[in-house]
Each structure stands twice: as C-alpha cells, then as structure tokens.
Amino acid sequence: MIWQKQTQITSQLKTIKLGIWAVASMRHEVTVNEAISEVSENAITGADMRIAVIRMDAVQTDSAALKELRAKKENYEKKLRDELTSEQKILEKEKAEIEKSQDVLSPEALQRRVVDYQKRVANLQRSLTERAQSIEESYQRALADIQEKHLDPIIEGIIAKKNLSLVIDGRFARTGANVENLDITDDVVKALNKKVSTVKMSTPKGF
C-alpha cells in the first residue's frame, strides 16, 4: 500500500515537471544580441578620456571634519568602555557576596538573589549593545550628511572643473609613478577643509 502511494506521488511529480517544462519551452528565450539591441554603438575613445583617482581612505583620515567626527565617536565609545569596566567591578563584587552567602541564605532567598543578579547582567548587556549600536548609527548619519552636503558636491565640482570623464576610487586602482594630475585626493581634502571644519553628531541614545 505504501509502495503504491509512493508510486502515485512519483507519477504526479513527473507530470508536474513535464507541465512546467512544456510551459517553459513555449517561452521565447531572448538572445544576448536581442537584449542589447537598443544599446548605442558609440563609445569614448582614448584621446577623449580624462581620468582621475581619489583615495577615499586618505580623505577620511586627513580631512579636518572627518577627523573631528571620528574623535567624537571614539569619545562615546570610551565612555561606554569606562562604564562597562565600572559595572563589571560592581557585578563581580555582588557575585562574590552571593557565593559567600550560600550557607547563610535559605534556598529560596538564594535563588531570588541569583535570579536578580542574572537579570542585572542581562540588562547591562542589552543596554551596552543598544548604546553601542546607537553610537554607530549617529556616526553613520553624520558621515552620510557630510558626504551628501559637502563631499559629493566638491567631487562633482572638481569633475566639472577638470572636465573629467571618470573618477576611480584609488584604493582599487593601480597607477604608474610618473602620471601627473591623476590623483585628486589632496584637492578634495583641501576643498573639504575649506568648506567645512566642524561637524555635528547627534547624541546617541543613553548618553
């Protein structure tokens, strides 16, 4: 009986697969040439190309505004680490007191104290995690704000002024040593420092 049911199921699956194959076979598969039929044949030639590179890692480390933003983030992180150290000392002391009181407290009282201790540990872990996430979120929002309001317009302005065709992230580019006017990182940093020197970072939750 079981074998007959399995045979029926197998037969049904084959029928479904055949049906799917039949439907798929009716669809016209688009060729590559058909897919790119509307793409223009025009392309830029070597003589027309004006290329530059930006080392975004250097922009982040060298610009005054981004240095300040990074320092603010690190300051909040230090406060969080200091608080963690302080709370850990308190919890370690409490844990030692609970261990000493095992022979003094009743099983019920001891259990209540252990549960209370575990809740405090869990609450501390949750609070630290949420506040660490809030620091990162505030930092990323400030970073995005700088990029949108200051960095992107500067890069676009330099592209227009130099009539550039392409700007590449220098971290992923390999260039020769004697290529002049290729790296515009310093130009971007100087312009960014001139446009903005200080930034706001919203206060993370819990601070």
Give, for all 207 residues of the chain, the pLDDT tens digit. 443 444 554 555 445 454 544 545 555 677 778 776 887 777 777 677 888 889 888 999 999 999 999 999 999 999 999 999 999 999 889 888 888 888 888 888 888 888 998 999 999 999 999 999 999 999 999 999 999 999 999 999 999 998 888 888 877 666 666 666 788 888 999 999 999 888 899 999 988
Q: Is residue 11 part of a domain?
A: yes
| 86 within some domain | yes
What pTM was computed for the model? 0.71
Distances (CA, A) of 113 to 53, 54, 97, 118: 62, 59, 10, 9
Q: Quick check: helix, strand or coil at residue 43?
A: coil
**What pLDDT does 11 receive?**
55
Confidence at residue 38, expressed as pLDDT on a 0 to 100 scale: 83
CA distance linking residue 201 with residue 69, whole number of Å: 7
Query: Is 201 among the domain residues?
Result: no
Bridge partners, 52 (sequence order): 167
pLDDT at position 1, please?
Answer: 46
Rounded to an integer, what distance in angstroms lies between the CA atom of residue 139 and that of residue 128? Answer: 17
Domain limits for position 6: 2-195
The count of domains in the chain is 1
In the three-class reduction of DSSP (H, G, I as helix; E, B as strand; rest coil), residue 93 is classed as helix
> Roughly what angle, to the nearest 10 degrees, separates helices 185-195 and 152-162?
130
Confirm whether 132 is domain-assigned: yes
In a domain, 88, yes or no: yes
Residue 15 domain-assigned (yes or no) = yes
Instruction: Let me know if residue 204 belongs to a domain.
Output: no
What local confidence, expressed as pLDDT, does residue 172 receive?
67
Task: Give the pLDDT of residue 177.
Answer: 62
| Any domain includes 162 | yes
